[in-house]
A and B are shown apart, each in its own frame.
Chain A
């Protein structure tokens, strides 16, 4: 059966969303599909967003039934999120951040982190699969005539900063959900597509050749930057994504948490003790107090009330308040300080072996991360300006006019200093749903109905090779970085074959160190780096190659060359080609997201 819809899926760290556009017919009609989900024990409701949480029922509980499954033992969505405050050890949150974190085996059942023994832990990949599977079930329930998402053209968004391994794992989760026709799209690009879609043909009046659009996407858990250039080619406008930022685990949740701590501290000073439930309730109360203060400049303070947990509402309630001064101090000055363009985020050295945890950004100042991003990508490319000329905001955090204004003022101050004009703001709509909408619209673009943003891969990739020098006790041999995949490879293209040979032992898994860079844009495949600036290359989890003994004897050393290509899905593929093939075109796939230990994973 051929696909009838382009389906855009925003698989977010804190929320997911689903949008749909018919492939037949005139014009782009993108609609957001409501997602039925459990909102309380025994009750479902349809919401535009699916909170990205999984809850595992205890045996004492009744089944977490859904209209399409009356014996389910886990829940995804709003009820799962609300159980997170009550039974945190049985709830998975932020699976997407774990998916992009090479410090754990992402196919190994590791979540929820501190689950009790009766919970069968699942991997970050499987958690992502559960979200996708729920979206599929909800789609079938909402639109029974339209079949299954597996039959449609699915566009799945990923942060632009996701490396090749995390992208692979996202596709793996989609395949597990039965989506065979899936394409990846970077979230900031999706936001720009949504902007184009919502402006109809009028968008061309807002963007001209020579423009450079900065997309700032601040979601619940991550911050993502991209630069997209508008260029003239053969008399028509082309859009090129020229740069993406590094993966920054910093978002709206951190901001709510910071405010909750401020209020909790005040309550503690008044001699009031908060338990875990009240701290969690405080987070929610502070979020809504923050939104009121940010949305209404006339308010000076908002009461934050923590009701008692018992059935007697009055009497045991704790009352605190959030003041405008605190929001400005902790949100504006903490997360969006007006810094000089030369400021850089503080890097805190990791303290040895810490408990398993996500590598949260150690500097909360988003403006410093932005300054670093712009400085790393301020090269002039062709006719495009070196500095951004327009900005598109995306993500729930930037619904606040106060935060948008602060970002804009900071950015414009940098531009003025550099002698550049202030940026224009491209008015985005519905910052929570734009990514899903833009992804569905991109499905139409792939059928020639709209302008495509070009750009190719957002990273250059390198394999670490040991430099030939004698082993010295106490010294690690210096490592060289061999470029195997240059920056900007288009879908369906192959990189040149690097001339360097690597030796692989037949029958034994061989690990190579693996690096990526978002800033080295001109290294061709085969380039060998002996030195690089700090921060220029990021080390990823190692990659693994195992040569099957077919036709060769175990233990034999086989020289290979590594060739990169980009699949139609948008994932990186790395293959080893035998220099002395036994059969024509003999090649083996290199595993990008390696399993740690045999037999692990799910």
Chain B
């Protein structure tokens, strides 16, 4: 399998999900670390999620286009949910109540942005904690714990997983400077 560069847009999503998983999954983290150390044998990692951009008129997908996609996504999350403001601010000195109040703004806005631009559903429909039998190894299910032997694999579902089934980012029109994910605001009186 030859692996081309993953477009930045997809990388952004992937790094988001992957970052969380690295944080909570020591085993995955060490695999990723090993991969980086080894100079990046991409074949060792699961294939990227296929993304659909259904309403965007057919246009050549080049690297510039996908960089734009990443910037647009940041701009969208900032516009709807103050995402960049939140992540850029040092929150260590604030109380949980302050962080909680801000989290509501970020959560509500980012949720709205996500729901109106992407369809995200869980990889597995079973409840977490349920006993699940996997008939054969699959790219969308990661085995953890006492991983040995052959399929079928029986275990307890710890995380249902997330899959982006559709993603429709806003279409860029005109020639805006997309690196400005939030313009400065100057109020005239």
Contacts and interface: CB of A to CB of B under 8 A. Distances in A.
Interface of A: 34, 36, 38-47, 62-63, 65-67, 70, 288, 303, 305, 307, 309, 311-315, 317, 319
Contact of B173 (A66, A305, A317): A66
A313 B82 contact: yes
A311 B101 contact: no
B174 A62 contact: yes
B170 A44 contact: yes
Contact of A39 (B55, B86, B170): B170
B173 A44 contact: yes
Contacts of A70: 173-174
Interface stretch (B9-17, B91-99, B130-138): B91-99
A317 B176 contact: no
Contacts of A312: 85, 89
Interface residues of B, number: 36
Contact of B108 (A38, A41, A47, A288): A288
B98 A315 contact: yes
Contacts of B176: 41-43, 62
Contacts, number: 89
A167 B71 CA distance: 46
B105 A307 contact: yes
B30 interface: no
Nearest to B79: A40
Contacts of B55: 34, 36, 45-46
Contacts of B123: none
A36 B171 contact: yes
Contacts of A39: 170
B89 A314 contact: yes
Contacts of B170: 39-40, 43-45
Interface string B162-188: 000000111111111010001101000
A86 to B, nearest CB: 8
Nearest to B83: A313
B124 interface: no
A317 B85 contact: no
Nearest to B171: A44
A313 B89 contact: yes
Given A67-B171, A303-B101, A319-B101, A43 B72 contact: yes
A214 B99 CA distance: 49
Given A41-B176, A314-B89, 20 more contacts: A34-B55, A39-B170, A40-B76, A42-B172, A42-B173, A42-B176, A42-B178, A43-B72, A43-B176, A45-B116, A45-B117, A45-B169, A65-B174, A70-B174, A305-B105, A307-B85, A307-B105, A313-B82, A314-B94, A314-B98
A45 B94 contact: no
Nearest to A46: B55
A38 B172 CA distance: 10
Q: Give 6 closest A-B pairs by Cβ, nearest first.
A: A42-B176, A65-B174, A43-B170, A313-B85, A45-B170, A65-B173
Nearest to A87: B188
A41 B105 CA distance: 22
B60 interface: no
B146 interface: no
Given A43-B176, A66-B173, A309-B185, A317 B102 contact: yes
Contacts of B5: none
B27 interface: no
B135 to A, nearest CB: 39
Contacts of A311: 85, 88-89, 182
Nearest to A82: B79
Contacts of B178: 42
Interface in B38-73: 55, 57, 72
B174 A305 contact: no
A234 B57 CA distance: 53
Contacts of A315: 94, 98
Contacts of B91: 314
A46 B82 CA distance: 22
Nearest to A64: B174
A41 B173 CA distance: 9
Nearest to A71: B174
B104 to A, nearest CB: 5
B173 A40 contact: no
7 contacts: A34-B55, A42-B175, A43-B75, A43-B172, A65-B174, A67-B171, A312-B85
Given A67-B171, A314-B99, A40 B75 contact: yes
B111 to A, nearest CB: 10
Most buried by A among B98, B171, B172, B183: B171
A305 B101 contact: yes
Contacts of A42: 172-176, 178
A305 B182 CA distance: 21
A273 to B, nearest CB: 15
A34 to B, nearest CB: 7
B57 A67 contact: yes
Contact of B174 (A63, A317, A319): A63
A47 B99 CA distance: 32
